[in-house]
Chain A
């Protein structure tokens, strides 16, 4: 059983029917992009889950580190004025 070196890992993103952004569905191994697309279709869209697929080599993804979570995301926690509910507009004005 001569197994070739493990095929690269690909991350699969699928755009659902209702025109939303591509969303991460999962991953798979494939020797090249073409096979990755074909396999992604078979594995992740067997029940009309999508209208478009992206496959991205996992090695191309740069992720933020978990211990940077505070530094990166905490600063937005105290900026309530970025949300519409922060502002009091009289009912008479109607929907805004």
Chain B
């Protein structure tokens, strides 16, 4: 026992001193497991997160809007790839992670189990959902695991356009006709509370939070991140004349923060358990896309095999990350 205790103590001191952990370093099994779970869930969220927005690509109201939406959805696919790669450095494989997702064994962010009913939802998703994601991801740029942290830095650079384009959509609608403004308000009404739930349950309800903080995987608590997000977002809503659907929301001079109403966690847990409006639809869409892409993957493999038979140096064996 003694050597393990030593190693664990040394590991804790190492991350506490703001050092990065790299794939070949010794790490506690539980640290590795926590990261594999968190990073793969994060990757799945990027990939499943393409679906609610892809829903509007063919119906975007202008060519400009369509190009922007396409670029954003493509970015999210890239984010999924960066994150699957980061998880693979911990000894899992992308095929395994994708199999788990398609088998319904893996989780992804519950926010993507809500439907995108109108064009204004493209605004609300970019502004609020990407906004909340950014709040979390900026913190994760300083996470202790090197490959995860580097993926986050790259992702954060790409994310800021996502939020700005969403806010721009909301701003145009809010300044448009009565109907357009109503559409924007309706989208805000539907997305506000689920966006606040993206930060996860309150700190006293998240048993793993303290451990993640000690390992420096997480740097801020769920409640702190949520509060920061609310404080930033309320003035943005006011600026475009939309109102936050929370009668208890008000500035607290003493705290220097907004007070806000109680979150309905029963809704959150119901969606996590699979009973959200789109859980089945989202998984079905992923399974269909994977199945329908099978021939492309097979053709690419067959072509590569043929080429490497002609040029022996071209085909090289799989091996986990070396560096």
Binding site for B on A (CB under 8 A): 1-9, 11, 24-35, 42-43, 46-47, 57-63, 65-66
B150 neighbours in A (Cβ, 8 Å): 26
CA distance in complex: A46, B70 (Å): 12
A31 and chain B: residue at smallest CB distance: B304
B317 pairs with A4, CB closer than 8 A: no
Shortest distance from the beta carbon of A9 to any chain B beta carbon, whole Å: 6
A8 pairs with B317, CB closer than 8 A: yes
A11 neighbours in B (Cβ, 8 Å): 322-323
A27 pairs with B321, CB closer than 8 A: yes
A9 pairs with B301, CB closer than 8 A: no
**Secondary structure call for the B interface:** helix
CA distance in complex: A35, B151 (Å): 22
A8 pairs with B298, CB closer than 8 A: no
Shortest distance from the beta carbon of B280 to any chain A beta carbon, whole Å: 19
- Determine which of B74, B82, B94, B291 lies in contact with A26 in the assembled complex, contact meaning CB atoms within 8 Å: B82
Q: Counting CB contacts under 8 A, is B78 at the interface?
A: yes
B322 pairs with A61, CB closer than 8 A: yes
B322 pairs with A59, CB closer than 8 A: yes
Q: What is the total of A-B residue contacts with beta carbons within 8 Å?
A: 91
A58 pairs with B303, CB closer than 8 A: no
Shortest distance from the beta carbon of B170 to any chain A beta carbon, whole Å: 24
A3 pairs with B297, CB closer than 8 A: yes
CA distance in complex: A2, B321 (Å): 25
A6 pairs with B316, CB closer than 8 A: no
Shortest distance from the beta carbon of A86 to any chain B beta carbon, whole Å: 28
Segment among B3-11, B53-61, B241-249, B307-315 that sits at the interface with chain A: B307-315
A8 neighbours in B (Cβ, 8 Å): 315-319
CA distance in complex: A81, B238 (Å): 60
A26 pairs with B154, CB closer than 8 A: yes
B318 pairs with A26, CB closer than 8 A: no
A59 neighbours in B (Cβ, 8 Å): 316-319, 322
* Residue from A25, A27, A46 with most neighbouring chain B CB atoms (10 Å): A27
Shortest distance from the beta carbon of B270 to any chain A beta carbon, whole Å: 30
A30 neighbours in B (Cβ, 8 Å): 300
B95 pairs with A3, CB closer than 8 A: yes
CA distance in complex: A89, B287 (Å): 70
Shortest distance from the beta carbon of B293 to any chain A beta carbon, whole Å: 10
